[in-house]
């Protein structure tokens, strides 16, 4: 295809440069986490090929050393091909083959581009095709990111929320449903719900890892395994399991593993659910801290930065806003994965680089956002117990506790009169002689309402 001029420091070759020239689209190469995963896959392939006698120990050692450098992130700059490239990711697989071969030449004291002692296709790509390497790298790299980045970040958020739930256990506040006053609960109970959301999110992230255990490696071009070795795929999976601690296995059906991206779509759905959960938590905390005088003001959020260029002293819930924005972005990315999975045809899905970008970008942004939100918002939240009690005392929904004693209709009439006249529930009940003072004080105790199983009504009904 003619000669090309390469940068002096390039370890990649002509095929990679052609891809760089052909795809000047976004200016964004594939995510570093994906590239590092590709290094792991190439390392595993070299070790497997040595074990089955298809590579000499000397060549296998050089390939593994170069591949390890990719996996360690020291050669990430040598992967310049844009996300929007050939849909199989062939350009990126070729990029890896060229970088590993040239790095092997450096290590062996041979000139770059000499293909000595390691050939990019015959040795580095031995028993492989872009069509099984790139789907394999997708699964491996995303599983690693979920297991070691997102899940731990969600664990830390859950622990921080649980600590707040325990600290706020005795602070009674008014509940809200439909954004309207409801019966009381404790601030600790409210935060315990957020904590469980975060624990479940972490569990979902780990379940997503399990969805990616099957690897396409060994299917080569279209899933038949042409030019492969019958033991190759299983050995690659064994190496990857040892390197990552995640139990990878050969795909049950290589045609499905290369033609369909249903596992990636399911993972995207899980990430969308996690984003929805986090957005709900952030939105609630933003509202609970609203004010300081004209909002709910039941909690005080940490002060992180000035909130206005014109209003002195204004402080905004910026960490909540950041997390909500990241969650919106994540849900857009995951929807792209759904559409990309839908649009695969015949024996190969050709939206692989885009899927890789979207999943890694989602995990990267969510992990960083959750870590920052935990440290700079949740950890510093304080309760305003006086404000919580004030809103409880003003609420008409304490009347709900009267239902078992005076019936729904009578309780509704009491609430309506209290709202219309501004009198307290207690005054109206006593004036109407619906209950005696001692019983009424016990029934309208908001603390008791947060533990309804401990309070037995005097009469049935309602």
Here the CATH number for the domain that contains residue 432 is: 1.10.40.30
244's enclosing H/E stretch is helix 232-244
In a domain, 353, yes or no: yes
What would the mean pLDDT of 407-427 be, rounded to a whole number?
93
Q: Check if 308 is active-site.
A: yes
Do 119 and 199 reside in the same domain of the chain? no
Whole-number Å distance between alpha carbons of 174 and 297 = 12
In a domain, 2, yes or no: no
Q: Which of 327-331, 363-367, 389-393 has the lowest mean pLDDT?
A: 389-393
CB atoms within 10 A of CB 153: 24
- pLDDT at 408 exceeding the cut of 80: yes
The 10 Å CB-count burial string (b at 16+, else e) for 97-113 is bbbbbbbbbeeeeeebe
The SS3 assignment for 423 reads coil
What would the mean pLDDT of 312-333 be, rounded to a whole number?
95
Do 144 and 293 reside in the same domain of the chain? yes
66's enclosing H/E stretch is helix 57-72
Question: What pLDDT is stored for residue 462 in this prediction?
Answer: 31
- Asked if residue 329 lies in contact with residue 322, where contact means CB atoms within 8 angstroms, the answer is no
Angle between helices 57-72 and 90-108 (to 10 degrees): 120
Do 439 and 406 reside in the same domain of the chain? yes
For 63-85, how does the pLDDT look when each residue is reduced to its tens digit (9 = 90+)?
Answer: 999 999 999 999 999 999 999 99
Backbone angles phi, psi at 196, to 5 degrees: -65, -35
CB atoms within 10 A of CB 454: 8
Question: What pLDDT is stored for residue 11 in this prediction?
Answer: 97
What would the mean pLDDT of 207-218 be, rounded to a whole number?
98
Question: What pLDDT is stored for residue 305 in this prediction?
Answer: 87
Phi-psi region of 168 (alpha: psi -120 to 50; beta: other; left: phi over 0): alpha
Contacts of 57 (CB under 8 A, 6+ apart): 50
In a domain, 89, yes or no: yes
The last residue of one of the domains, among 336, 359, 383, is 383
Confidence band, pLDDT 50/70/90 cuts, at residue 455? very low
Whole-number Å distance between alpha carbons of 322 and 282 = 9
In a domain, 240, yes or no: no
Provide the mean pLDDT of the chain: 95
In a domain, 224, yes or no: no
Burial of 165 (0-12, 13-18, 19+ CB in 10 A): buried
- Asked if residue 320 lies in contact with residue 370, where contact means CB atoms within 8 angstroms, the answer is no
The 10 Å CB-count burial string (b at 16+, else e) for 337-351 is bbebbeebeeebbbb
Confidence band, pLDDT 50/70/90 cuts, at residue 312? confident
The last residue of one of the domains, among 336, 356, 383, is 383
Question: What pLDDT is stored for residue 461 in this prediction?
Answer: 34
For 163-186, how does the pLDDT look when each residue is reduced to its tens digit (9 = 90+)?
Answer: 999 999 999 999 999 999 999 999
Do 34 and 159 reside in the same domain of the chain? no
The last residue of one of the domains, among 74, 92, 126, is 126
Q: Where are the beta strands (DSSP E) in 121-186?
A: 172-177, 180-186
Contacts of 281 (CB under 8 A, 6+ apart): 161, 194, 197, 198, 323
Do 284 and 371 reside in the same domain of the chain? yes
Question: What pLDDT is stored for residue 125 in this prediction?
Answer: 98
Do 122 and 197 reside in the same domain of the chain? no
Here the CATH number for the domain that contains residue 364 is: 1.20.200.10
CB-side exposure of 320: number of CA atoms within 13 Å? 20
Whole-number Å distance between alpha carbons of 297 and 316 = 13
In a domain, 85, yes or no: yes
Contacts of 22 (CB under 8 A, 6+ apart): 85
- pLDDT at 459 exceeding the cut of 50: no
CB atoms within 10 A of CB 329: 16
Q: In terms of pLDDT, which residue wins out, 126 or 398? A: 126
Whole-number Å distance between alpha carbons of 52 and 64 = 15
- pLDDT at 307 exceeding the cut of 90: no
Residues in the chain: 462
In a domain, 38, yes or no: yes
CA 107 to each of CA 76, 82, 116, 279, 421: distance values in angstroms, whole numbers, following the listed order? 18, 28, 11, 50, 88
CB atoms within 10 A of CB 242: 11
Q: What percent of the chain has pLDDT over 90?
A: 90
Do 308 and 160 reside in the same domain of the chain? yes
In a domain, 100, yes or no: yes
CA 93 to each of CA 88, 124, 180: distance values in angstroms, whole numbers, following the listed order? 9, 10, 57
Confidence band, pLDDT 50/70/90 cuts, at residue 310? confident
Question: What pLDDT is stored for residue 4 in this prediction?
Answer: 86
- pLDDT at 368 exceeding the cut of 80: yes
Among candidate residues 308, 309, 345, 360, the one labeled active-site is 308
For 119-141, how does the pLDDT look when each residue is reduced to its tens digit (9 = 90+)?
Answer: 999 999 999 999 999 999 999 99
pTM of the shown model:
0.94
For 235-261, how does the pLDDT look when each residue is reduced to its tens digit (9 = 90+)?
Answer: 999 999 999 999 999 999 999 999 999
- Return the DSSP state at 17: H
- Its domain, for residue 55, covers 14-126
Burial of 96 (0-12, 13-18, 19+ CB in 10 A): buried
Name residue, tokens 């979920």.
Answer: 146
| Number of domains, the chain | 3
Do 69 and 198 reside in the same domain of the chain? no
Question: What pLDDT is stored for residue 344 in this prediction?
Answer: 86
Contacts of 433 (CB under 8 A, 6+ apart): none
CA 397 to each of CA 52, 80, 298, 394: distance values in angstroms, whole numbers, following the listed order? 74, 62, 18, 9
Name residue, tokens 């490696």.
Answer: 217
The SS3 assignment for 50 reads helix
Here the CATH number for the domain that contains residue 77 is: 1.10.275.10
Report the DSSP beta bridge partners of residue 181.
176
Do 403 and 278 reside in the same domain of the chain? no
Burial of 252 (0-12, 13-18, 19+ CB in 10 A): exposed
Among candidate residues 91, 129, 178, 290, the one labeled active-site is 178
Whole-number Å distance between alpha carbons of 228 and 231 = 9
CA 376 to chain centre: 19
Do 282 and 138 reside in the same domain of the chain? yes
- pLDDT at 458 exceeding the cut of 90: no
Do 340 and 429 reside in the same domain of the chain? no
Whole-number Å distance between alpha carbons of 106 and 115 = 10
Do 427 and 333 reside in the same domain of the chain? no
Question: What pLDDT is stored for residue 228 in this prediction?
Answer: 96
Nearest in space to 106 (alpha carbons), one of 196, 18, 9, 228? 9
């Amino acid at each position: 295809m003619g000669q090309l001029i390469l940068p002096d420091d390039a370890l990649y070759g002509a095929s990679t440069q052609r891809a760089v020239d052909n795809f000047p689209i976004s200016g964004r190469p594939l995510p570093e986490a994906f590239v590092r995963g590709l290094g792991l896959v190439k390392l595993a392939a070299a070790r497997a090929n040595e074990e089955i006698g298809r590579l000499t120990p000397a060549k296998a050692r050089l390939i593994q050393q170069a591949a390890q450098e990719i996996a360690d992130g020291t050669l990430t700059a040598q992967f310049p091909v844009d996300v929007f490239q050939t849909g199989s990711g062939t350009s990126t697989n070729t990029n890896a083959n060229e970088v590993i071969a040239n790095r092997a030449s450096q290590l062996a004291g041979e000139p770059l581009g000499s293909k000595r002692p390691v050939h990019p296709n015959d040795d580095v790509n031995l028993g492989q095709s872009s069509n099984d390497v790139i789907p394999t790298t997708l699964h491996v790299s995303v599983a690693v990111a979920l297991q070691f980045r997102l899940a731990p970040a969600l664990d830390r958020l859950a622990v921080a929320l649980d600590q707040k739930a325990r600290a706020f256990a005795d602070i009674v506040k008014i509940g809200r449903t439909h954004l309207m006053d409801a019966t009381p609960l404790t601030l600790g109970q409210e935060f315990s719900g957020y904590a469980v959301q975060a624990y479940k999110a972490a569990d979902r992230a780990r379940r997503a890892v399990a969805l990616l255990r099957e690897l396409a490696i060994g299917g080569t071009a279209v899933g038949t395994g042409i030019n492969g070795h019958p033991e190759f795929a299983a050995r690659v999976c064994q190496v990857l399991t040892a390197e990552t601690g995640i139990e990878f296995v050969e795909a049950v059906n290589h045609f499905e593993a290369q033609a369909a991206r249903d596992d990636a779509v399911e993972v995207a759905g899980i990430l969308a659910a996690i984003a929805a959960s986090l957005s709900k938590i952030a939105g609630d905390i933003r509202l609970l801290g609203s004010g300081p005088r004209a909002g709910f003001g039941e909690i005080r959020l940490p002060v992180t930065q000035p909130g206005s260029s014109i209003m002195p002293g204004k402080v905004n819930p910026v960490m909540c806003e950041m997390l909500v924005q990241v969650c919106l972005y994540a849900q857009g990315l995951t929807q792209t994965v759904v559409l990309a999975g839908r649009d695969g045809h015949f024996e190969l899905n050709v939206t692989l680089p885009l899927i890789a970008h979207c999943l890694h970008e989602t995990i990267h942004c969510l992990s960083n956002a959750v870590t920052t939100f935990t440290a700079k918002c949740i950890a510093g939240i304080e309760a305003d117990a006086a404000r919580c009690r004030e809103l409880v005392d003003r609420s008409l929904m304490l009347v709900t506790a009267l239902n078992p004693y005076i019936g729904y209709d009578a309780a509704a009439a009491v609430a309506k009169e209290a709202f219309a006249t501004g009198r307290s529930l207690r005054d109206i009940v006593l004036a109407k002689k619906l209950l005696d003072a001692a019983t009424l004080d016990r029934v309208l105790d908001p603390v008791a309402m947060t533990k309804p199983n401990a309070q037995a009504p005097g009469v049935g009904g309602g």
